[in-house]
Structure 1
Amino acid sequence: MSTTTHALPGPSARLMFRWWTADDFELARGLWGDPRVTARIAGEPFTEPQIAARLSAEIDQGLTHGVQYWPVFLRDDGSHVGCCGLRPHAPQVYELGFHLRSAFWGRGLAGEAAGAAVAFAFGPLAARGLFAGHHPENTASRAALLRLGFRHTHDELYPPTGAMHPSYRLDP
């Protein structure tokens, strides 16, 4: 199955989505090679082989499930902002996630991208619900999820960071 046959979240006011490709290693390194970003994902910086594996996993998610944490770009100049998207969590329930390059933090872009992904999940994908979590120190992610209407359900251990991550649910 080719990713070109799958739909994407629609563009937002400032952002657009596309599919990851095997040629995107430099974009992936710019995101997952930033220790400020990976501190909240894995607790430590990603090595180049881990970055390549993460890129490959996102491509595989798209091929297998028709969703991924899509790369996100500014509409006005094409700058790579990070990624945002969905992955299967339970039947007809998706996990929402977003990772932004640290240079783009604090501009409301994560919430904007996540809003487009939520609309896609509850629109074309007909999801029954969304799950999301975040690093406990990431108050910006918490605020973005709450603004989107997610409600806190529990905290759970996230092994890559060794921390209890707040977890949320959003129903249509």
Structure 2
Amino acid sequence: MKEFFLKSIRIGFSIWSENDICDALELWGNPEVTKFITAEGTMSKEQVQQRLRNEIENYNNYNIQYWPIYLIETNENLGCCGLRPYDHENNILEMGIHLKEKYWGKGIAKEACFAVMEYAFRNLNANALFTGHNPKNSASAQLLKKLGFVYTHDEYYPPTKLYHPSYLMKKQNYMDVH
């Protein structure tokens, strides 16, 4: 049984460890998931292992990561959703989500992101959240609009070698609605 430090109605948030390599490979080893994450569209086993190490390092250094998320009812891994450092000086964190394809279109992304937004603003006292998406990923664009993020600019994202539409959610705007 996984331990969850954060829960929503259906989703439990855990913390990546080296023991989670199978979940990491199932997620980032799937070209349907990574087609919008990397320029190549795929990640090798070594790249997935490095990604897992990066998430663990982010947690060790900053107490945040793109946390692994699980269906509370079955303990099944859904993917990951969370935070990483973005603009330390202004206390702005970056939010992101990667879901296994069988969970697309079921409201999981919206539910997970709302839980992370709540956690970032209420527990971590972030001033704002930044996020972006691959310009070819229209589902992410729709999700960010539903979440209330405001488009600010296009930003170059080295892993995809593309300019990603980028958005911001200021703490005050979030608190006014929630």
Q: Given the two structures, how large is their TM-score scaled by the length of structure 1?
A: 0.92
Aligned to 1:77: 74
> Aligned runs of 1:153-172 on 2, under 5 Å?
153-172=152-171
* Range moving further from structure 2, 22-31 or 133-142: 133-142
Task: Please list the CA deviations of residues 109-137 of structure 1 after superposition, one character each: whole Å capped at 9, or x if unmatched.
Answer: 11110110000000010000000000112
Aligned to 2:144: 145
Structure 1: runs of 5 or more not aligned: none
Q: How does 1:49-60 map to 2 (within 5 A)?
A: 49-60=46-57
CA shift for structure 1 position 162: 2.2
Residue 55 (structure 1) shift:
0.3
Give the CA deviation at 1:74: 0.6
Q: Give the aligned length.
A: 166
1:18 aligns with 2:14: yes
Give unpaired runs (5+ residues) of structure 2.
172-178
Partner deviation per Cα, 1:84-142 (whole Å, 9 max, x = no partner): 00011112110000000111111111111011000000001000000000011212211
Rounded Cα–Cα distance in structure 1 between residues aligned with 2:122 and 2:144: 18
SS in 1 for 2:19: coil
Cα shift at 1:163: 2.0
TM-score normalised to the size of structure 2?
Answer: 0.89
Secondary structure in 1 matching 2:27: helix
Residue type matched to 1:89 in 2? Y
Which residue type is aligned with residue 73 of structure 1?
Y
Q: 2:45 aligns with which of 43, 48, 61?
A: 48
Q: Distance in 2 between matches of 1:139 and 1:123?
A: 29
Per-residue deviation at 1:36?
A: 1.0
**Cα deviations by residue, 1:119-172 (Å, 9 ceiling, x for unpaired):** 000001000000000011212211211111110001122222222210000001
Partners of 1:165 and 1:90 in 2: CA distance: 17
- Name the amino acid aligned to 1:27: D
Does residue 32 in structure 1 map to residue 31 in structure 2?
A: no
Shift of 1:23: 0.5
Higher fraction of helix = 2
**Partners in 2 of 1:120 and 1:147 — Cα distance?**
18
Within 1, Cα distance between the matches of 2:152 and 2:132? 10
